[in-house]
Amino acid sequence: MIELKNLTKVFKVGGRELKALDGINLTVPEGSIYGVIGSSGAGKSTLIRCVNMLERPGSGRVIVDGQDLTQLTGKELRLVRHNIGMIFQHFNLLSSRTVYQNIALPLELAGASSQEIETAVIPLLDLTGLKEKRDSYPSQLSGGQKQRVAIARALASKPKVLLCDEATSALDPQTTRSILGLLKDINRELKITVLIITHEMDVVKTICDRVAILSHGQLIEENDVESFFLNPKTELSREFVCSAIHQKPAAEVESRFQSEPTEGSRPVVRITFVGRRVVEPLITRAARQFGTDFVILQADIETVHGKSMGFLMVEIMGEESDVEASMTFLRDNVQVEVVGYVS
């Protein structure tokens, strides 16, 4: 649906060149919700702005719905942009216009009649839960309501693609959840492909199907969300995953933590499990079978992409051969990784 091929963007700042995007290749499948995460300055906004040509890429191709946007004239581009809605972190509403008039704006600009506008706007007010607010002004709305108006406005021209740049980072957790729920409904019911830029792993965890990580203008990792959480491949993705599962060993352990084993040290193991494994008594089984003891340092069960996923950090105590046997038993059933040792 969206294909970026070898996309590059260089900014010239004070005689120096800054590579904001460096050879990005990325495919967003039709009907999916695709997340791009990265730290501040990684190039996320530049990337999403290239998808609708708000930013002209230096080289490479941007293909949306089979059409290479880099080849289009200004007029052709304006037409194609009706297929691409966009929402922003700070909503970008017109303060002098009511909710209804804000949503109607793209249709007005496209020359629609007031009857056509009404036919389009009324269902959008319903969809976004803004019926009661149709005549309010942006200053009279909460942040969540403002973002709902921005979403309705982005949907007014019946786009096939919705681009969201940090659409929830100005909102509190509860409002974020309701906006993410709305985006999911829009994706499912209107069959709109959604590309979400975010630095919040919670967004990825809650609604995305696939995810890519951007770092210094380069796409360093890409995967379906479940595999990404289960098996992050780079240091940065590991950090993002840990931020989402609040995984940090207890302070008492951290001070005793060492990266290499020493005489009498015990392994600290991260165990990740999905689906039905979450409800299986694997730890107690290992303990009984091999006579080992487990100290739970951290534990969390999260819903990732609609599935339960467990994250556990344990210290395993016992005879060396029994500890090894416990780990082999666990490895046969769940994902196990030695993250360090304590003594």
Ligand X SMILES: Nc1ncnc2c1ncn2[C@@H]1O[C@H](COP(=O)(O)OP(=O)(O)OP(=O)(O)O)[C@@H](O)[C@H]1O
Q: Given the rule CB under 5 A, which of 44-52, 124-132, 198-206, 333-341 is the region that contacts Mg ion?
A: 44-52
The percent helix, strand, coil of the chain (3-state, each to 5) is 40, 30, 30
The full DSSP string for 165-226 is ESTTTTS-HHHHHHHHHHHHHHHHHS--EEEEEES-HHHHHHH-SEEEEEETTEEEEEEEHH
Shortest distance in whole angstroms from residue 214 CB to ligand X: 7
- b/e code 246-284 from CB counts within 10 Å (16+ = b): ebebeeebeeeeeeeeeeeebbbbbbbbbeebeeeebbe
CA distances from 110 to 78, 122, 157, 311, 337 (A): 10, 18, 9, 51, 56
Residues 303-316: b if buried by 16+ CB within 10 A, e if exposed: ebbeeebbbbbbbb
Closer to Mg ion by Cβ: residue 86 or 124: 86
**Could you tell me which stretch among 14-22, 38-46, 229-237, 309-317 binds Mg ion (CB under 5 A)?**
38-46
Q: Rank residues 11 and 94 by Cβ distance to ligand X and give the closer one.
A: 11
The option from ligand X, Mg ion, none interacting with 13 (CB < 5 to 8 A, set by class) reads ligand X
- Cα separation, 267 vs 270, in Å, equals 10
In the list 82, 199, 256, 277, the residue contacting ligand X (rule: CB under 6 A) is 199
Q: Does 215 bind Mg ion (CB under 5 A)?
A: no
193 scored as a contact of ligand X (CB under 6 A) = no
Which ranges of the chain would DSSP assign to H, the alpha helix? 44-51, 74-80, 99-109, 114-127, 143-155, 173-189, 201-207, 225-230, 235-244, 251-254, 282-290, 320-331
Residue 52 contacts ligand X per CB under 6 A: no
Q: Interacting stretch for ligand X, rule CB under 6 A, among 39-47, 145-153, 219-227, 231-239?
A: 39-47
In angstroms, the first-to-last Cα distance of the chain is 53
Q: Is 24 in the site for ligand X (CB under 6 A)?
A: no
Binds ligand X by CB under 6 A, chosen from 1, 2, 7, 20: 20
Reduced to 3 states, what is the DSSP secondary structure of residue 66?
coil
Instruction: Say whether residue 45 binds Mg ion (CB under 5 A).
Output: yes
Nearest distance, CB of residue 88 and ligand X, angstroms = 11
Kindly state the smallest distance separating residue 165's Cβ from Mg ion, in Å: 6
Q: Identify which range of 39-47, 117-125, 132-140, 321-329 contacts Mg ion by CB under 5 A.
A: 39-47
Task: Say whether residue 90 binds ligand X (CB under 6 A).
Answer: no
Stretch that binds ligand X, among 43-51, 90-98, 126-134, 201-209 (CB under 6 A): 43-51
Residue least distant from Mg ion (Cβ): 45
**What residues line the site for ligand X (CB under 6 A)?**
11, 13, 18, 20, 38, 40-46, 199
**What residues line the site for Mg ion (CB under 5 A)?**
45
